[in-house]
């Protein structure tokens, strides 16, 4: 009999093994594994009653909530495809993603209110509301009336279970399709990196519009551990979780670790056994600061991509010996360097980009994912990322397209031309920088002025954190295209000279 490697099976196995153990917490809310399974199956029957079938795409729009987990696992039980998108998106950005995905249903949180109603009218997409009353179908009422029995839908582990939206170099959305089997192996790889870490569970700082948010939940549940969620990845919220639940593990990008370490109020640290992070640039001094605050914790870092899954990992001792390395390949992952670029393949990998066969063919070549990262490998096989072949900016866990930000900045008062690049940053990896050519007599715009200009047009994480005035933008002689790599190098050199 063939074993079923489906995402829904991860919840089923956990509920069978430890039904009364807490599966998830969020603020004052807590559920057991048995309750999570019951609510997922109830939601699956509710969605089935609304006409959802295997292969249908279901988009979710709203802040993190336990109801979103119900919707996610309901789609997994039905063989439908879950597509989360960011609640901070502007109306234009959300409409573009809906036009691209063409969902059978958009499930929105009631707090989205007018934005959800406007989206329903502008896109004519079918909408349902959870966590209260709102536009479209009343999914809460359907959930309350639905059966708690398993829906009994046959799901194949090669089926696409989710599409995670990311940005390409043009800013147009790209949907990364991941199969049930792919996410199973992503979860298994994560579970094997961290041994069973006690009853306190682990903290997930990632939002659910990001693949990592779901990956950490599935990793924890595969290991029968509680996942502690936070709606805000700020120091007070994380400190409150540490005090209330005494978790054994916390994953946070360096920027969030910085916030927690600088938190002025005391919080308990004795329960922490694993301090995990992930980025392509991890400052060695941060290890010492984490160890001073969490003396029992083992520090590890990992690197990955939505398309590839977790590609590499590195432990505390190696981080000290090889600063800025992203480590060695994870189990089941092959990494190679071709013409300076890192390529990889694994059983965690995406199946392709939704409805973008040409882009898929360019990115997946003979079964290898071309990352666009320029890397070096030392004599021990440890990889260090030294740059990017593509122009996208990687800030924290987000991918940002310069062209999209530049388009939104058009018409900025006092500015003739603008180009956007990513600058190295010890906390974020890269930060968005706007290089502006000013009109005669104009003052350089402030970051606050730029954010005000972009309000309602772009999500906050895409807004520039730095603004610099330049005399001109470097362009190619033949086509006149802006040479962002040269601009970036020039700006970095200028900043280094000014710092001396």
Structural domains for the chain: 7-377 (3.40.50.12780), 394-499 (3.30.300.30)
What residues are paired with 314 via a beta bridge? 301
Nearest Cα to Cα of residue 388 among 372, 369, 402: 372
Q: What is the pLDDT of residue 225?
A: 93
d(CA 131, CA 147) in angstroms, rounded, equals 19
Residue 479, number of CB atoms within 10 A of its CB = 7
Q: Report pLDDT for 199.
A: 62
Question: 58: part of which helix (H) or strand (E)?
Answer: strand 57-61
For 51, the 3-state DSSP assignment is: coil
Q: Which residues contact 98 (CB under 8 A, 6 or more apart)?
A: 59, 106, 119, 123, 125
Rounded to 10 degrees, the C-alpha dihedral 445/446/452/454 comes to 70
Q: Among residues 197, 250, 203, which one has the least CA distance to residue 224?
A: 197
Q: Which residues pair with 86 in a beta bridge?
A: none
pLDDT at 391: 75
* Structural contact between residues 260 and 239, judged by C-beta atoms closer than 8 angstroms: yes
- Tokens representing residue 124 in the block: 């004519």
**DSSP structure class, residue 21:** S
- Distance, in Å, from the CA atom of 151 to the CA atom of 42, rounded to the nearest integer, reads 8
pLDDT at residue 197, as a whole number: 52
| Prediction pTM value | 0.84
What pLDDT is recorded for position 366?
Answer: 96
Q: Are 406 and 419 in contact (CB under 8 A)?
A: yes
Give the whole-angstrom CA distance, residue 129 versus residue 108: 5
Which position has the token pair 């390395």? 325
Exposed, middle or buried by CB within 10 Å (0-12, 13-18, 19+), for 265? exposed
pLDDT tens for the 500 residues of the chain, in order: 567 899 999 999 999 999 999 999 999 999 999 999 999 999 999 999 999 999 999 999 999 999 999 999 999 999 999 999 999 888 888 999 999 999 999 999 999 999 999 999 999 999 999 999 999 999 999 999 999 999 999 999 999 999 999 875 556 789 999 999 999 999 887 766 555 555 689 999 999 999 999 999 999 999 999 999 999 999 999 999 999 999 999 999 888 999 999 999 999 999 999 999 987 667 788 999 999 999 999 999 999 999 999 999 999 999 999 988 999 999 889 999 998 899 999 999 999 999 999 999 999 999 999 998 888 899 999 998 876 677 788 888 788 878 788 888 988 989 988 999 999 888 888 999 999 999 989 999 999 999 999 988 888 899 999 999 999 998 865 456 688 888 998 999 888 888 77
State the Cα–Cα distance between residues 12 and 184, nearest whole angstrom.
13
Q: Report the C-alpha gap between 37 and 482 in whole angstroms.
A: 53
Q: What is the pLDDT of residue 98?
A: 96
184 pairs with which residues across the strands?
A: none
Query: Which residues sit opposite 370 in a β-bridge?
Result: 343
Q: What is the pLDDT of residue 194?
A: 59
Contact 131, 67 (CB under 8 A): yes
State which H helix or E strand residue 227 sits in. Answer: strand 227-229
Please give the structure tokens belonging to residue 141. Answer: 């009422």
Rounded Cα distance between 259 and 264, Å, is 10
């Amino acid at each position: 009999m063939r074993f079923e490697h489906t995402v829904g099976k991860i919840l089923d196995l956990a509920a069978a093994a430890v039904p009364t153990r807490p599966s998830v917490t969020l603020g004052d809310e807590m559920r057991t594994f048995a309750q999570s399974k019951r609510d997922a199956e109830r939601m699956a029957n509710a969605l089935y009653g609304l006409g959802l079938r295997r292969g249908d795409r279901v988009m979710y729009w709203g802040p993190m909530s336990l109801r979103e987990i119900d919707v996610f696992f309901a789609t997994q039980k039905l063989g439908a495809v879950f597509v989360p998108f960011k609640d901070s998106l502007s109306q234009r950005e959300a409409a573009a993603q809906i036009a691209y995905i063409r969902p059978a249903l958009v499930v929105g949180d009631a707090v989205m209110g007018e934005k959800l109603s406007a989206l329903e009218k502008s896109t004519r997409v079918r909408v349902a509301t959870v966590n209260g009353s709102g536009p479209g179908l009343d999914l809460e009422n359907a959930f309350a009336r639905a059966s708690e029995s398993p829906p009994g839908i046959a799901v194949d582990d090669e089926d696409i279970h989710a599409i995670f939206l990311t940005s390409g170099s043009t800013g147009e959305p790209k949907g990364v399709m991941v199969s049930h089997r792919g996410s199973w192996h992503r979860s298994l790889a994560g579970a094997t990196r961290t041994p069973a870490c006690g009853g306190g569970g682990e903290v997930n700082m990632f939002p659910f519009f990001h693949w990592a948010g779901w990956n950490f939940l599935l990793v924890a549940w595969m290991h029968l551990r509680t996942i502690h969620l936070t709606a805000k990845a700020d120091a007070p919220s994380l400190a409150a979780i540490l005090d209330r639940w005494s978790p054994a593990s916390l994953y946070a990008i360096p920027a969030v670790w910085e916030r927690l370490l600088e938190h002025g109020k005391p919080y308990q640290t004795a329960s922490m056994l694993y301090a995990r992070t992930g980025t392509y640039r991890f400052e060695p001094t941060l290890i010492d600061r984490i160890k001073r605050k969490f003396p029992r914790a083992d520090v590890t870092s990992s690197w990955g991509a939505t398309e590839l899954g977790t590609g590499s990992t590195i432990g505390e001792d190696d981080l000290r010996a090889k600063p800025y390395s992203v480590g060695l390949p994870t189990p089941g992952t092959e990494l190679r360097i071709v013409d300076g670029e890192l390529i990889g393949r694994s059983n965690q990998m995406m199946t392709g980009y939704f409805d973008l066969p040409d882009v898929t063919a360019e990115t997946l070549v003979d079964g290898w994912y071309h990352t666009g990262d320029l890397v070096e490998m030392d004599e021990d096989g440890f990889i260090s990322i030294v740059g990017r072949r593509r122009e996208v900016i990687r800030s924290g866990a987000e991918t940002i397209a310069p062209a999209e930000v530049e388009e939104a900045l058009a018409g900025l008062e006092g500015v003739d031309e603008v180009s956007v690049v990513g600058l190295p940053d010890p906390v974020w990896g890269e930060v968005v920088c706007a290089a502006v050519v000013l009109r005669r007599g104009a003052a350089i715009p402030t970051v606050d002025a730029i954010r005000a200009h972009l309000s309602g047009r772009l999500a906050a994480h895409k807004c520039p954190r730095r603004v610099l005035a330049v005399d001109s933008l470097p362009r190619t002689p033949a086509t006149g295209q802006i040479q962002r790599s040269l601009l970036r190098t020039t700006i970095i050199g200028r900043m280094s000279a000014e710092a001396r």
